[in-house]
Structure 1
Amino acid sequence: MNQEDANKITSYLSFRLGDEVFALHVSKVHKILGMTEITEVPRAPAYMKGVINLRGNVLPVVDTRIKFGMTPSEKNKSTSILVIETSISGESILLGIIVDAVQAVLKIEAEDLLPPPSIGKQYQSEFITNMTKVKDKFYIILDMDAVFSSDTMLNIKELVDARESVTKDH
């Protein structure tokens, strides 16, 4: 799908990490898998959970909670792996990200997208494309390319602070 066609889509997939709800554009999501056995990769970064076999292809899997500075994921019946397409160093790759639960597909029109907040230079707003409010709930819309092209660990508290600063303004 080219970028122009992707921009016409107004659907976002929301998912939960701990008590926080995030969203990403559906054009980035290829598949939603139930939790499965993951083969560890020696000497990988802490957030790299390992790899799985996806139709004969090796798919790297990231523990998104660790990447976001949270405690590691604990497998339960709602734990899922989102197979997303992301661009790392200009190369498009498929990557599995572990989420606590997949929530819903949200239809969000362009006029409902709020700019990411500016809450100081230490805050990593490059990981957030937008914020939005759907039925009195704010969602942080992530730029997965920025999240996974950086070895920087995200600080979930900063993301929550960002959401709360937008909540106060609207």
Structure 2
Amino acid sequence: MAKLAETMDQAVKAMADKEGKYLTFSLANEEYGISILKIKEIIGMMPITTVPQTPEFVKGVINLRGKVIPVIDLRLRFGMDAIDYTERTCIIVVEIECHAGIVQIGIVVDAVSEVLNVKGEDVEETPAFGAKLNTDYILGMAKIEGGVKILLDIDQVLSEGEIGLLEKVA
């Protein structure tokens, strides 16, 4: 019985850890969220300088007030079809933690939606999709207003090798 209580305590703590404010955005008609604590700023689309010999999802770099920031297209990173950018397309500059410290990258999203206050009890664990599918980058599923928003662990969206590549690009 104590083991069950301990497991329940861990589950409650895990949900509470995911509680907080999330910036939500859309990609291919799905809604995603990133903890507001990871967001540096949101900017409109601007010229992106392409860098040769990089993966397709790496769009290139931007000059943001004198700082060179690598930019990835989250649609392409997630294996979705590329689309033409619109007036709603924007770049979310996030800070990700890796072995080298904190790195800023821009992520291109279809449109930013809103900032939501997500309660721990509204977050469910990521469903198991089978052993072959890596879902480490998903914090959980937030049940909001009859729909589901996929909460991302932005630190896990890119592998250490991909982050290292972006550091070299910038």
Normalising by the residue count of structure 2, what TM-score does the alignment of the two structures yield? 0.80
Partner of 1:63: 73
Question: CA offsets, 1:121-170, max 9 Å, x none?
Answer: 11212111111111101011011111122568xxxxxxxxxxxxxxxxxx
- 1:13 equivalent in structure 2: 23
Work out the CA distance in 1 between the residues paired with 2:159 and 2:94: 13
Let me know the Cα RMSD of the aligned residues: 1.8
SS in 2 for 1:27: helix
Alpha-carbon distance in structure 2 between the residues aligned to 1:48 and 1:90? 20
AA paired with 2:21?
A: S
CA distance in 2 between partners of 1:149 and 1:85 (Å) = 15
Give, in angstroms, the shift of residue 41 of structure 1: 0.7
Counterpart of 1:54, as a letter, is: L
Matched, 1:141 2:157: no
Alignment of 1:4-83 (within 5 A): 10-83=20-93
> Among residues 131, 140, 164, which one is paired with 1:130 in the alignment?
140
The yes-or-no answer on 1:118 pairing with 2:124 is no
In 1, the alpha carbon distance for the partners of 2:108 and 2:140 equals 22
Kept in 1, the 8 Å contact 2:19–2:120? The answer is no
Flag as ranges the 4+ runs of structure 1 deviating above 3 A.
Answer: none
Aligned-partner Cα distance in 2 for 1:44–1:119: 29
Q: Which of 87, 91, 95 in structure 1 is aligned with 2:105?
A: 95
Distance 2:146 2:19 in 1: 22
TM-score w.r.t. the length of structure 1 is: 0.80
The one-character-per-residue Cα deviations of 1:83-118 (angstroms, maximum 9, x if unpaired) are 001123342100000000001111111222111111
Q: What displacement does 1:16 show?
A: 0.5
SS of equivalent to 1:146? helix
C-alpha deviation, 1:72, in angstroms: 2.0
Does the Cα contact within 8 Å between 2:18 and 2:120 map onto a contact in 1?
Answer: no
Match of 2:6 in 1: none
CA distance change for structure 1 residues 117 and 9 in 2, over 3 Å: closer, same or farther? closer
- Give 1:106's match in structure 2, choosing from 102, 105, 116: 116
Q: Work out which of the two has the higher radius of gyration on C-alpha atoms and give 1 or 2.
A: 2
**Alpha-carbon spacing, 1:100–1:8, altered in 2? closer, same or farther (3 Å):** closer
